[in-house]
Amino acid sequence: MPSSMSYTLFLLLNVNHDKDDVLEHVGQRLEKTGDKSFCFDSSPDIFFTAEYLEEKEDRSICVDIPFGAEDAVIKEVFDFITYLETRVQVQVLDPQVGRTLKPSDGEEVFRKWQNLNLQALRNYSDGHYFLRNVDEKDGKKRMVEAIKFHEETWQNHCSVALAYARIGYAGHAQKHFERALAMDPANSGIKHALGVTLFNLKEYAKAKELLSQALAEDPSNESASQLIDECNNKLNK
């Protein structure tokens, strides 16, 4: 198992900054969850937290990025750092890379995130873990990344499948949706999700079959109906 289920950055702040001013500035960009804590919450796809830390003379903002997110979360974090730099001078320490970052290091951070994120998903893919629940305690939001259950369940497989889908690993998502459907064959939601995944894999005939089953069981499913039409268009070309 990975030692952590998140990617962490420390934004080292210039010692001459005004704490209250910085906190107010951050609060205009992120959702405030405590006196010194914030989050960006577009869960389950994108979520990260930011907390103002004080240790002796040092001041920093710890940005914690839970694994299982869309890759776009890194762009959101970099955009936040750029926003923060309009108010205070910042050095970015990346413990995963092992040094403070230069402006040209963005691609390296992105690749490091991708590799560690994929490793985390692989380590929690046995059907016993449910990924990415947002929990709130004492007013602070956090992402509970991996809850272990004694039993293998279809819900767990779906949660991992969705995490794989967020990063474009449709083939991996397919396997977990198929396992989930085998465990709960009457579940129209899984049929729909697997149908969408097969559509993304350009398996249009298989996608149409599953989406048609999902629509028959839930005639109000407009998404399934629209995708069936798209499957027909692809198959008739």
201-237 pLDDT per residue, tens: 999 999 999 999 999 999 999 999 999 999 999 999 8
- Digit-coded pLDDT (tens) for 57-89: 899 999 999 999 999 999 999 999 999 999 999
- The per-residue pLDDT for 209 is 96
Distance from C-alpha of 116 to C-alpha of 82, rounded to nearest angstrom:
24
Whether pLDDT at 199 is above 60: yes
- CB-CB contact of 36 with 52 (8 Å): yes
- The per-residue pLDDT for 211 is 96
The residue type of 32 is: K
Q: Give the model's confidence band at 2: pLDDT under 50 very low, under 70 low, under 90 confident, else very high.
A: very low
Global pTM value: 0.85
User: In terms of Cα–Cα distance, which of 69, 73, 61 is closest to 109?
Assistant: 73
- The per-residue pLDDT for 67 is 92
Average model confidence (pLDDT) across the chain: 93
Distance from C-alpha of 85 to C-alpha of 124, rounded to nearest angstrom:
36
- CB-CB contact of 176 with 160 (8 Å): yes
Which whole number is the average pLDDT over 124-150? 86
- Domains in the chain with CATH codes: 6-123 (3.30.1400.10), 149-235 (1.25.40.10)
- The per-residue pLDDT for 1 is 42
Which whole number is the average pLDDT over 162-181? 96
- The per-residue pLDDT for 139 is 74
Distance from C-alpha of 191 to C-alpha of 97, rounded to nearest angstrom:
40
- Alpha helices of the chain — where are they, by DSSP H? 19-27, 72-84, 106-123, 154-166, 170-183, 188-200, 204-217, 222-235
Whether pLDDT at 93 is above 90: yes
Distance from C-alpha of 234 to C-alpha of 202, rounded to nearest angstrom:
9
Q: Give the model's confidence band at 136: pLDDT under 50 very low, under 70 low, under 90 confident, else very high.
A: confident
User: Which of 83-92, 136-145, 190-199 shows the lowest mean pLDDT across its residues?
Assistant: 136-145
Whether pLDDT at 3 is above 60: no
